[in-house]
Amino acid sequence: MKVLWAHSPCTANEVIEAMQDKTEWKPKTIRTLLNRLVQKQALSFSQENRIYAYFPIVSEAECVKSETQSFLKRIYGGAFKPLLVNFLKDEQLSAEEIKELKNILDDKSK
């Protein structure tokens, strides 16, 4: 999806070429993934002769939001607090990051 969000439309071969250095997936696996993303209505395509050009239907922000909610439901039963607590315990945060988090929490409480 990141390849297509950055450069679309792309042919399957262009997606495969863009992903060669980032993954060990075979071209057939990438083509299968593209087809599945079309079936899930995350991607669509236009066809000229026998060439398919894929483009995203779902924005990156929508996808991130959906995946975040899915992760919370699967791992934390939908509860955000345990995720945040685990994150804060394990991460080294800079003073600026802490300030930014405080500002976000302050904005949420208004």
Residues 6+ apart with CB under 8 A from 28: none
pLDDT attached to residue 108: 85
CA–CA distance, 75 with 73 (Å, rounded to integer)? 6
- Number of Cβ within a 10 Å radius of residue 38: 15
Nearest CA-CA partner of 55 in 109, 110, 3 = 3
Structure tokens at 53: 């050009």
Q: What is the mean pLDDT of the chain?
A: 92
CA–CA distance, 42 with 65 (Å, rounded to integer)? 14
Model confidence over 51-105: pLDDT tens digits? 999 999 999 999 999 999 999 999 999 888 888 888 888 888 899 998 998 999 8
Q: Is the pTM of this model over 0.85?
A: no
Average pLDDT in the 35-63 region? 94
Beta strands per DSSP E along 1-110: 10-11, 43-48, 51-56
Q: Given pLDDT bands bounded at 50, 70 and 90, which one contains residue 1?
A: very high
Q: What would you report as the CA-atom Rg of the chain, rounded to the nearest whole angstrom?
A: 19
pLDDT attached to residue 72: 92
User: Is there a cis peptide before residue 56, judged by omega within 30 degrees of 0?
Assistant: no
